[in-house]
Amino acid sequence: PTITEAYSCTLNPGQTMADFDKAAAAWQADMDEIPGGDQYFAAVLTPLRANVPFDLLWLGSSANLNNWAKNTAVYNESAEGRAAQRRFDKVAMCGSGLWYAETLHEGLAPAEVGSTSVVEAYQCSLREGKTLANVSAANASWLGVIKAESVASPAVAKFDGYMFTPFLANVDYDVAY
């Protein structure tokens, strides 16, 4: 499965999103110089309507756990990676975790995915006696409804949907969408 790392970040005193954006732009240039840097996807999310204890969320994705571990080691050991990390540390304090990511639905063509998007997210806890098998069954049922509804109204399916299951994360929920 795809591995996603999430960093929930709070800007340091006196720092702004513009400062973080500058650090992220420099990070992108540095990643171009690091072997395997092109095998990592990252996005920055800023809360619009949420009760969250952070200013931004960095989502980074690798094809699998081996790819993530190898590229993380290269990043941490390279001069470019250390310089990028110093820039991030100057502007924000971040906590992190790892999740398995599963694509549930792909309804957007790559050309439709822009650099700015709205993301709706849910963090869910399993009810007593329920398991991830129950979650998978509910997801399958939901996807059946989306497929049926999209026949009459194709716009219903114009979104991408993902499920994240904590792997190494100190969180108080079982799955996130």
- Helix (H) or strand (E) holding 62, with range, is strand 56-62
Integer CA distances (angstroms), 125 to 104, 135, 154, 169, in order: 18, 10, 31, 14
Q: How far apart are CA 56 and CA 72, in angstroms?
A: 21
What is the dihedral sign for C-alpha 79, 43, 63, 172? positive
Q: Do residues 59 and 45 make contact, with C-beta atoms less than 8 angstroms apart?
A: yes
Global pTM exceeds 0.95: no
The string of pLDDT tens digits covering residues 80-131 is: 889 999 999 999 999 888 888 888 888 877 665 556 777 788 889 999 999 9
Residue 153 has pLDDT above 70, yes or no: yes
Q: What is the pLDDT of residues 17-66, one digit of tens each?
A: 999 999 999 888 888 788 777 788 888 989 888 788 899 999 998 988 89
